[in-house]
Amino acid sequence: MTKLAVYAVSADNSRGRVMHEAPPTGRSDFQRDRDRIIHSSAFRRLEYKTQVFVNHVGDLFRTRLTHSLEVAQIGRSIARNLHLNEDLVETISLAHDLGHTPFGHAGQNALNHCMRDYGGFEHNLQSLRVVDVLEERYAAFNGLNLCYETREGILKHIAKKNVEKLGELGIRFVQNKSPSLEAQLANFSDEIAYNNHDVDDGLRSGLITLDQLQEVSIFSRHLLQVKRKYPAIAERRMVYETIRGMINTLVTDLIQQSIINVENAHVDSLVAVHESPPLIGFSEKIKKEQQQLKSFLYNNLYRHFRVVRMNNKASHIIERLFTAFSSEIRLLPTEYQKKFEHEGHQVIADYIAGMTDRYAIKEYQRLFTIAEN
Ligand code: MG
């Protein structure tokens, strides 16, 4: 790791862990957090959870696992350039989707609807719940006992009604303070990763076309550069080169603009970062282009009838599972039944949110198909 900026998160200014532990040897506290995340079962399940495309429809599409790895890669490169804590950015990136339900946003919306009388369901909050409570691996504590700064980064947004449950971690939302630059960066790396890989997966699936993408300025100008330089290359390579160019432009712009923002805000410590408005960000031009790409993907990919059709099935599965478990608790695995006595419907949400796409489909068949057991 290169020398850290004075406003980066470091071992010296970290608020540490809830349960005190001796510092690790041979690795930093944030590397230890990363290692705990990689060894968690929630992390392994990301391999079988949908990003946009349902997990089993094609071997080349992103899953939540490969998405998280791309976020970590982009985050690390930018962090190094900005002299931020690379280990922390990597850790937050790998953990940021741990609380996602099966079937992507359709699953999350359906579960949130099912939980409307019991406090709702938010995937950011659930990611935190996974690392704070649900992982049962260590003798001395529940969860992974991660550093404050890792947990702060995982909790990107939260509904106001849930702020009070969170104690120290919720205060910044009440006081309107910014999270660390590392947390801000992980969030942008997420956006850079999904906008670009959704273009790639969208084209590969045939749900969007190169022709349609002409209207998206960041795509068309990079495509033009590739065509000029390599007029005869095959389409697949042309797409990859275009996406490579887009990622490079976004990463470079984010680095340059963030340096300017940090300089203008005169931040000289981590405390000053919390007091300042968010400082990691794109230039105005790139922000507009990113917005245009996002709306394009929303209108043409995320709302494509084949995606909507799958999402509809996904909501149906989640809702029926939830209804079955709530009306007959004994359908839940024994350990969840015991927890239900103390924690109520949150336990059903935990069980469903923890499922992979294929596990949810299998459970649906076990519950509703006569021949299944
Ligand atoms: Mg993500």
Instruction: Give 158-169 pLDDT, tens digit per residue.
Output: 777 777 777 778
pLDDT in tens, 41-94: 999 999 988 877 665 565 667 889 999 999 999 999 999 999 999 999 999 999
What does the domain layout of the chain look like in residue ranges?
Answer: 29-308, 309-368
Residue 103 contacts residue 357 (beta carbons within 8 Å): yes
Q: CA 365, 367, 369: angle at the middle one, nearest 5? A: 50
337 Cα: distance to centroid of ligand 1 (angstroms):
31
Ligand 1 ion local residues (Cβ < 5 A): 97, 190
pLDDT in tens, 82-117: 999 999 999 999 999 999 999 988 999 999 999 999
Gap from CA of 86 to ligand 1 centroid (Å): 18
372 pLDDT band (50/70/90 cuts)? Answer: low
Please give the average per-residue pLDDT across 358-370, as a whole number: 93
Residue 352 CA, ligand 1 centroid: distance in Å: 19
What whole-number percentage of the chain has pLDDT above 90?
83
Q: How far is the CA of 146 from the centre of ligand 1 (A)?
A: 20
pLDDT in the model for residue 173? 79
- pLDDT at residue number 62: 83
- Report the separation in Å between the CA atom of 101 and the middle of ligand 1, taken as the mean of its atom positions: 12
The stretch 285-305 carries a mean pLDDT of 95
CA of 96 to the centre of ligand 1 (A): 6
| Separation between Cα atoms, residue 43 and residue 144, nearest integer Å | 12
Region 273-302 average pLDDT = 96
Arithmetic mean of pLDDT, 169-191: 90
Question: To the nearest whole percent, how much of the chain has pLDDT over 70?
Answer: 97
For 194-221, write each residue's pLDDT tens digit.
999 999 999 988 999 999 999 999 999 9
- Each residue of 316-356: pLDDT tens digit? 999 999 999 999 999 999 999 999 999 999 999 999 999 99
What pLDDT was estimated at residue 57? 62
pLDDT for 55: 58
Residue 67 Cα to ligand 1 midpoint, Å, equals 7
Q: Across residues 172-192, what is the average pLDDT?
A: 92
Matching CATH number, 29-308, of 1.10.10.10, 1.20.1420.30, 1.10.3210.10, 3.90.180.10: 1.10.3210.10
Contact 177, 271 (CB under 8 A): no
